[in-house]
Amino acid sequence: EAQVTQNPRYLITVTGKKLTVTCSQNMNHEYMSWYRQDPGLGLRQIYYSMNVEVTDKGDVPEGYKVSRKEKRNFPLILESPSPNQTSLYFCASSLRWHFTSTDTQYFGPGTRLTVL
Amino acid sequence: KNQVEQSPQSLIILEGKNCTLQCNYTVSPFSNLRWYKQDTGRGPVSLTIMTFSENTKSNGRYTATLDADTKQSSLHITASQLSDSASYICVVSATTGGSYIPTFGRGTSLIVHP
């Protein structure tokens, strides 16, 4: 089954404790991205990756890191989490994302993160 | 600054009725406009994707329209069902350096009552 998976689905942690949220897709997609969703603000892009070893900042990259060493995986790293990073996080992927693309973007199930 | 405004913020309708959700945007240069359905606690699911040259796109009971001149889009839901209860998100992407920058609307929360 074609899908985007995220782990963990729920996480409660404390300020400053490094954590990684994994994202994996099995569709051989080039483009992957991370979003956070907060009440009243909608989805905001954190980072995106056009392909392996190619990443770039989205609208709200501060406090986050990403890597794209393999095509299928795109982990989100919080080196020193803070309470304002408490949010619902979504990973997404699509086949391509160049200017002529209308490829469908597939979202993962979400990771609910609470930072105390 | 690129912006996407959706209206209404929330909507309650009776099962079987039709409804229309609105999306106004100021994104430039325009690349494409997407509508997503997001059930509570789940990831968004793509409904329609439209480019500049398309003014209507259907997906079952969902029909999206696009007026690139006025920078407006609408999503029409026909014969609503209880399962249509969800948040509907409009996303407009701009082109920059060959890549996309998506701007998300805050969504319209639709509740369908029996």
- Per-residue pLDDT reduced to its tens digit, A52-94: 999 999 889 999 999 999 999 999 999 999 999 999 999 999 9
Q: How far is A29 from chain B (nearest CA, A)?
A: 15
The answer to whether A95 faces chain B, any CB pair under 8 Å, is: no
Q: How far is A23 from chain B (nearest CA, A)?
A: 13
pLDDT for B101: 74
Under 8 Å CB pairs connecting chains A and B tally to 50
Given a cut of 70, whether residue A16 has pLDDT beyond it is yes
- The CB-based long-range contact list for B98-102 (8 Å cut-off, 24+ gap) reads B98/A98, B98/A99, B99/A48, B99/A50, B99/A56, B99/A97, B99/A98, B99/A99, B100/A97, B100/A99, B100/A101, B100/B31, B100/B32, B101/A45, B101/A58, B101/B2, B102/A45
Q: Which of A102, A106, A107 sits opposite B51 (nearest CB)?
A: A102
Mean predicted confidence (pLDDT) in A107-114: 97
The answer to whether A8 faces chain B, any CB pair under 8 Å, is: no
Q: How high is the mean pLDDT of chain B? A: 92
The answer to whether A39 faces chain B, any CB pair under 8 Å, is: no
